[in-house]
């Protein structure tokens, strides 16, 4: 229900802006604007060879790819309950990469993996790669590897609209703060003692935290601004993002630690998408629909 509301809201917003921006021009008569942009189509590469990549060898023999994603993060990775289709910025990045590896859309299997289960799902081969608001960190690099970054977010706070007492991370003492198991934001809340240990509430999914915020069982949800903005847009009358980020969360594509050949290839695909306008098109058709803009990330090869 909420998902539909968001989609309708985004659509209405897009139409409204289009109408304002082009006075006298009938809608749909040409000229793509950021707000009615459609996701691009990706050319499926032919005869891809990646000697020395165990994961790619497995993909080749299966003829399909299993991608780990999120299913409850609007604008990023979300499963439409009606159609069962996945959509969002992360999903498009996953599709673009699959096409670059020679795998067509109908051969992509999406598997939901929540934050706390990512390293295990990647290293035990349950997913071939993972695209889901996954921050590149040194700690995680001990278990998995990362292509990218393909986006940069920052930790922020989601609160009830009528609550003016929370103005940033320094105002969380005595407040109930919700985040997700195995995420960098919950780790930061703990390490920096932003609230008392007894006030930290933990779930598997951010949507569960948002539910608790609405029912006043918690006072704030903390994670990346990109994620929180999606929830706020679904419930504009009740929720708001504080808007003061207090960390850097560069998003990487999670990969098997030992597969440098695949990592280098995916870095090449991301670089090409950044250079040829595909990345921008993906952004405009997903996260950028709210009117936000983003700086392109710089791929860090290692
Ligand atoms: N980017 C942060 C992380 O990787 C928060 C979002 C998430 O849990 O996916 O932990």
> From the CB of residue 24, how many other CB atoms can be counted at a distance below 10 Å?
4
Q: Could you tell me the distance, in angstroms and rounded to a whole number, from the CA of residue 241 to the centre of ligand 1?
A: 17
Tell me the per-residue pLDDT of 120-161, one tens digit each, with 9 for 90 and over: 999 999 999 999 999 999 999 999 999 999 999 999 999 999
Nearest residue (by CA) to ligand 1, atom 9, is 133
Q: Are 147 and 53 in contact (CB under 8 A)?
A: no
Q: Which residues of 273-295 are buried (b: 16+ CB within 10 A; e: fewer)?
A: bbeeebbbbbbbbbbbbbeeebe
For residue 133 and ligand 1, the question of a CB distance below 6 A is answered with: yes
User: Does this chain's domain 18-153+251-290 share its CATH topology with 155-241?
Assistant: yes
The dotted CATH code for 18-153+251-290 is: 3.40.190.10
* Residue from 300, 280, 297, 255 nearest 151 by CA: 297
What residue spans define the domains of the chain? Answer: 18-153+251-290, 155-241
Closest ligand 1 atom to the C-alpha of 133? 9
Give me ligand 1 centre to Cα 63, in Å.
Answer: 30
User: pLDDT band at residue 20, thresholds of 50, 70 and 90?
Assistant: very low
Q: Is the pTM of this model over 0.85?
A: yes
Q: Which of 183, 227, 248, 254 to mutate to test the pocket of ligand 1 (most atoms within 8 A of CB)?
A: 183
pLDDT one-digit tens code per residue, 162-216? 999 999 999 999 999 999 999 999 999 999 999 999 999 999 999 999 999 999 9
Q: What is the CATH number of domain 155-241?
A: 3.40.190.10
Name the average pLDDT for the chain: 91
């Amino acid at each position: 229900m909420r998902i539909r509301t968001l989609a309708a809201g985004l659509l209405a917003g897009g139409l409204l802006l289009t109408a304002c921006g082009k006075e006298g021009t009938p809608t749909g008569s040409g000229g793509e604007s950021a707000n009615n942009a459609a996701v691009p189509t990706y050319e499926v590469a032919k005869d891809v060879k990646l000697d020395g990549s165990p994961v790619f060898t497995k993909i080749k023999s299966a003829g399909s790819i299993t991608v780990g994603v999120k299913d409850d993060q609007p604008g990023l990775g979300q499963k439409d309950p009606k159609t069962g289709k996945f959509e969002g910025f992360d999903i498009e990045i996953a599709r673009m990469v699959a096409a670059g590896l020679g795998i067509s859309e109908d051969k992509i299997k999406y598997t939901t993996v929540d934050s706390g289960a990512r390293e295990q799902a990647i290293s035990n081969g349950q997913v071939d790669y993972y695209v889901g608001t996954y921050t590149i960190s040194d700690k995680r690099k001990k278990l998995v590897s990362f292509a990218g970054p393909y986006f940069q977010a920052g930790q922020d706070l989601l609160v009830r609209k009528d609550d003016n007492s929370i103005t940033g991370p320094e105002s969380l003492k005595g407040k109930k703060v919700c985040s997700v198991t195995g995420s960098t934001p919950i780790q930061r809340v703990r390490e920096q003692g932003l609230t008392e240990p007894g006030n930290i509430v933990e779930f598997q999914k951010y949507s569960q935290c948002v539910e608790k915020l609405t029912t006043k069982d918690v006072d704030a949800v903390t994670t990346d601004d990109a994620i929180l903005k999606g929830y706020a847009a679904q419930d504009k009358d009740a929720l708001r993002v504080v808007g003061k980020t207090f960390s850097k969360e560069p998003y990487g594509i999670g990969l098997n630690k030992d597969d440098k050949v695949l990592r280098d290839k995916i870095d090449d695909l991301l670089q090409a998408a950044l250079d040829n306008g595909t990345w921008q098109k993906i952004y405009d058709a997903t996260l950028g629909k709210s009117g936000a803009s983003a700086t392109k990330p710089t791929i860090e090869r290692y």
